[in-house]
Amino acid sequence: MKRRAFLQSAAASAAVLSLSPHPAFASVLPSSRRRLFDVEAVTGNGRTVTLSEGALSALRDQLRGRLLLANDDGYGEARNILNPSFDRRPALIVQPTGVADIQTAVNFAQDHGGLLLAVKCGGHSFSGQSTCDRGMMIDLSLFRDVRVDPVARTAWVTGGSLLGAVDHESMAHELVTPLGTVSHTGVGGLVTGGGFGRLARKYGLAIDNLKSVQVVTADGQLRRASADENPDLFWGVRGGGGNFGIVTSFEFQLHPMRRQVIAGEIVFPMSKARDALLLYGEYGPVMPDELSLGFALVQPPGDAPGMVVLDVCFCGEPNDVDQLVAPVRALGTPISDTVRSMDYTVLQRSGDWTDPRAQGLYLKGGFIPSLGGDLAAAIVDGFPAHPSRLTSIFFQVGGGAISRVPSDATAFSQRDIFANMITVSGWPVAHDASTHMQATREYFGSLERFTHGFYVNDLEPDHTAEAIQRNYRQNHARLVAVKDRYDPTNLFRLNANIRPSGEVE
In three-state secondary structure terms, 209 is helix
CB 347, min distance to ligand FAD, A: 12
In this chain, which stretch among 185-193, 307-315, 325-333, 377-385 interacts with ligand FAD, using CB under 6 A? 185-193
Min CB(112)–ligand FAD separation in Å? 19
DSSP of 67-83, one letter per residue? EE-TTSTTHHHHH--S-
| Sole binder of ligand FAD in the list 185, 249, 475, 497 (CB under 6 A) | 185
For residue 411, give the 3-state DSSP assignment. Answer: coil
Q: Determine if 454 is a binding residue for ligand FAD (CB under 6 A).
A: no
- The CB-of-411 to ligand FAD minimum distance in angstroms stands at 13
In Å, how far from its chain's centre is CA 504? Answer: 29
81 touches ligand FAD (CB under 6 A)? yes
Write down the least CB distance from residue 339 to ligand FAD, Å: 19
Contact predicate 243/484, CB 8 Å: no
* CA geometry: angle 152, 158, 163, nearest 5 deg: 85
Cβ atoms of 383 and 376 within 8 Å: the answer is no
DSSP letter string over 270-305? GGGHHHHHHHHHHHTTTS-TTEEEEEEEEE-STTPP
DSSP class of 462:
T
Footprint of ligand FAD on 238-277 (CB under 6 A): 241-242, 246-247
| Nearer of residues 192 and 471 to ligand FAD, judged by Cβ | 192
402 binds ligand FAD (CB under 6 A): no
Q: How many helices (H) and strands (E) does the chain have?
A: 16, 21
Of 124, 223, 364, 483, the one binding ligand FAD (CB under 6 A) is: 124
Closest CA to 109 of 98, 124, 94: 94
Burial of 502 (0-12, 13-18, 19+ CB in 10 A): exposed
* Dihedral-angle region of residue 190 (phi above 0 means left; psi in -120 to 50 means alpha; beta otherwise): alpha
Binding mask 140-159 for ligand FAD (x = CB under 6 A): x------------------x
Whether 197 contacts 168, CB under 8 Å: no
Binding mask 358-387 for ligand FAD (x = CB under 6 A): ------------------------------
Closest CB 251 distance from ligand FAD, rounded Å: 13
Q: Answer yes or no whether residue 176 interacts with ligand FAD by CB under 6 A.
A: no
Nearest one of 161, 243, 285, 318 to 480, comparing CA atoms: 243
Task: Determine the interface stretch with ligand FAD among 187-195, 302-310, 339-347, 461-469 (rule: CB under 6 A).
Answer: 187-195
Regarding 186 and contact with ligand FAD (CB under 6 A), the answer is yes
Dihedral through CA 339, CA 345, CA 351, CA 352, nearest 10?
-160
> Is 414 among the residues that bind ligand FAD (CB under 6 A)?
no
Q: Which stretch binds ligand FAD (CB under 6 A): 72-80, 119-127, 305-313, 316-324?
A: 119-127
Q: Which of 44, 90, 96, 122 binds ligand FAD (CB under 6 A)?
A: 122
Contact 440, 446 (CB under 8 A): no
Q: What is the length of the chain?
A: 505
Q: Is 439 in the site for ligand FAD (CB under 6 A)?
A: no
197 binds ligand FAD (CB under 6 A): yes
**Residue (of 417, 483, 420, 473) closest to 235 by Cα position:** 483
Closer Cβ to ligand FAD, 180 or 236, answer by number:
180
Q: How far apart are CA 445 and CA 27, in angstroms?
A: 50
Stretch that binds ligand FAD, among 84-92, 193-201, 317-325, 410-418 (CB under 6 A): 193-201
Interface residue with ligand FAD, options 43, 95, 104, 129 (CB under 6 A): 129
- Residues 455-494, one symbol each (x = binds ligand FAD by CB under 6 A, - = not), give --x------------------------------------x
Task: Note whether 225 binds ligand FAD by CB under 6 A.
Answer: no
CB 18 within 8 A of CB 33: yes
Looking at 56, 59, 82, 116, which residue binds ligand FAD (CB under 6 A)?
82
Kindly state the number of chain residues that form the binding site for ligand FAD, as judged by CB under 6 A.
35
From candidates 141, 209, 495, 497, binder to ligand FAD by CB under 6 A: 495
CB of 53 to ligand FAD, least distance (A): 28
- Quick check: 182 binds ligand FAD (CB under 6 A)? yes
3-state per-residue secondary structure call for 20-43 = CCCHHHHCCCCHHHCCCCCEEEEE
Cβ nearer to ligand FAD, comparing 122 with 366: 122
3-state SS, residue 404: helix
List interacting residues with ligand FAD (CB under 6 A).
81-82, 119-126, 129-130, 140, 159, 180-182, 185-186, 188-190, 192-197, 241-242, 246-247, 457, 494-495
